Amino acid sequence: MNGISPELVRHVALLSRLELSEGETCRFGDDLANILDYVAKLNELDTSSIPPTSHSFKMSNVFREDVVQPSLTNPEALANAPDAENDCFKVPAVIQEL
Applying CB under 8 A, which residues contact other proteins? 9, 12-13, 15-20, 24, 28, 31-32, 34-36, 38-39, 41-45, 47, 50-57, 59, 62, 64, 72, 76-77, 79-83, 89, 91-94, 96
Beta carbon of residue 54, minimum distance to other proteins (angstroms, whole number): 6
Beta carbon of residue 81, minimum distance to other proteins (angstroms, whole number): 6
Q: Which residues of 25-49 are buried (b: 16+ CB within 10 A; e: fewer)?
A: eeebbeeebeeeeeeeeeeeeeeee
Beta carbon of residue 58, minimum distance to other proteins (angstroms, whole number): 11
Alpha-carbon gap, residue 13 to 31, rounded angstroms:
14
Beta carbon of residue 34, minimum distance to other proteins (angstroms, whole number): 6
Alpha-carbon gap, residue 82 to 89, rounded angstroms:
8
- Residue 5's nearest CA partner among 23, 21, 27, 29 is 29
